[in-house]
Amino acid sequence: MTTVIEARDVSKSYGDVQAVNHVNLSVEKGALFGLLGPNGSGKTTMIKMLTGQTRPTGGTATVLGIDAEKDPVGVRGRVGIIPEQETPPSFLTAQEYLEFVAAVRKIPDIQKKADWWFEFLDFADKKNVLCKDLSRGTRQKLMFTQAFIHEPELALIDEPLINFDPIMQDLVKDYLAAYVKKGKTIFISTHILEVAEEICSGFAILHKGNLLHTGPVAELTARGEHLPSYFLSLVRKDRHV
């Protein structure tokens, strides 16, 4: 087994706010790893540190063997990222945005792949519309495409399902499950617990920046427990201490 993500004693504070508090995490190759937690628990901050978008105030984050703090561009060159807020540039069309991403990532022959994604996520009719005029759902489709179009060995995706309708959610869920079967790794943050239970192999629970639990989902199921109820009891207990 190879470790693709290794967080050692990682912390991040914004002034007085401790967004992430001494977290230790590791994710193996081929995992579909869910980062769970209520709003404001530090999931987005964690993903930003792992992808070199922000620097930890303590500890080290190693991704694919690269120190994310020392070489953020190196990490971002090898992974795929869906940020929490969908922000494709306003004045490019969807098609142009994918060309832009491909050019920056130096992926050759983008068009066939792009067309496959336009069909797969059902937005081919919008491909020549400016991003600022796209609906939220379509923008999310575009951001999803952008993260996977180069088939990265690791994708870190922040609440990717949030703007999708149930049909689209189902499609994407299946895509993610199949993606890790090819030996690739996915790190997903979500608060949709049912989805996490259904597709994730491992998970971690964050609350107020503290890591409450990390381990395989199978371990829970073997004990006859369900992820949603386990999550709720753990978070409620923590809220009272």
Partner 1 sequence: MFELFVAMLKEEWRVHSTMFGSLSFALFPVMIFGIAFMGAFLIPLMRTTLPAGNLTLIIHANYLMLGIMVGGFGLLGNEVMSRRFGQASFLSYSARSLPLSDRFIFTNFVIKDTVYYFFLWVFPFGFGYILASPFTGVSLARALLLLLTLTLSFLFGLCGVFFLSTVYARSRTVLWLVLLALGTGWGGFAAMTGMNPALFFPPMLLNSAFSWTNLLVSCAVLVILFAVAIVLFNPESVGSEKNYKDAFAPLMNRFSFLPHPPLAAKDTIDLYRSGSMIGQTIFSFLLPLAVIWFFLSLLGPFFPPHGLLFIFAITTGVVASTMYTWVTMFDSFGPYACLPVAVSTLITSKLTTFAVLQVIPAAFIAVVALLSGEAAYLVPAVVLGCSVSFYAVGVMAWLCGLSPNVLVYDVKVLFVYLVLVGIVLMVFTTAAFANPYYALSAVILVIPTWLLVQKAKTRWDAVDPAGF
Ligand X SMILES: Nc1ncnc2c1ncn2[C@@H]1O[C@H](COP(=O)(O)OP(=O)(O)O)[C@@H](O)[C@H]1O
Chain contacts with ligand X (rule: CB under 6 A):
14, 17, 19, 37, 39-45
Does residue 45 interact with Mg ion by CB under 5 A?
Answer: no
Size of the site for Mg ion (CB under 5 A): 3
- Range 6-45, binding partner 1 (CB under 8 A): none
Nearer to partner 1, 155 or 193 (CB): 155
CB of 104 to partner 1, least distance (A): 5
Nearer to partner 1, 51 or 201 (CB): 51
CB of 61 to ligand X, least distance (A): 14
3-state SS, residue 80: strand
At 98, the amino acid letter reads L
- What is the side-by-side order of every strand in the sheet holding 32-36? 79-82, 154-158, 185-190, 32-36, 202-207, 210-216
42 contact, one of partner 1, Mg ion, ligand X, none, CB 5-8 Å limit per kind: ligand X
Q: Which residues of 71-98 are buried (b: 16+ CB within 10 A; e: fewer)?
A: ebebbbeebbbbbeebebeeebbbbbbb
**Closest separation between CB of residue 158 and Mg ion, Å?**
6
* d(C-alpha 198, C-alpha 161), whole Å: 14
Selected from 107, 124, 130, 234, the binder of partner 1 by CB under 8 A is 130
SS3 label, residue 147: helix
CA separation, residue 163 to residues 84, 207, 217 (Å): 11, 23, 25
Residues near partner 1 (CB under 8 A): 48, 51, 53-55, 72-74, 76-77, 80-83, 85, 87-93, 95-96, 99-101, 103-105, 126, 128-130, 132-133, 146-147
